[in-house]
Structure 1
């Protein structure tokens, strides 16, 4: 057995033995409160992302209305902004779905 393997085994054993001494009541907290806090976090994150979507939509409309300012890069900037909007929209949907799932788990 190499020294590295021995060290890993000793660390794993100490970790497992430490977990066995934990009281089961130490982790017994109100899950409804935790679920609601996590759901609120997901909702807040979705709202923040929605704000970013609106910001990028403004950029997109600016790229479309002022093509002469951006020249040949206008199409690239429009495509990039649209891609960012789509990604943020997916994240908003996912965050709201997670919040809904957590709220349903409470009931």
Structure 2
């Protein structure tokens, strides 16, 4: 009975010591490359959205400065442009947060 317990404990210790050789924080090279690519994707997406924000800000300033050209729809167009700008800004923030999270996970 004692020998079975001793053998079981010995095997358990042997298996656990084998698992300790693996570094949990070390990332596989392929996974590291994917993290870098995904980080770049989120950064590129944030930059594209920032360009769209600038474009919609130009539209908004046009609606504000020349509202007489748009008639009674000027206020609707201004509100819509502001809403689109706000949504794009939220998307930029989300993409930047994801890129930062991936950068931290990569280290």
TM-score scaled by length of structure 1: 0.73
Per the alignment, residue 61 of structure 1 pairs with 61
Distance 2:100 2:33 in 1: 15
Equivalence for 1:52: 52
Q: Which residue is equivalent to 1:104?
A: 104
Alignment TM-score, normalising by the size of structure 2: 0.73
Instruction: Give CA-to-partner distance per residue, 1:6-63, whole Å, 9 cap, x none.
Output: xxxxxxxxxxxxxxxxxxxxxx752111101000000000000000000000000000
CA RMSD of aligned residues (A): 1.0
Take 2:29 and 2:97, find their aligned partners in 1: how far apart are those partners? Answer: 24
Asked if 1:88 corresponds to 2:83, the answer is no
Which consecutive residues of structure 2, in runs of 5 or more, have no partner in the other structure?
1-27
Q: CA deviation at 1:105?
A: 0.3
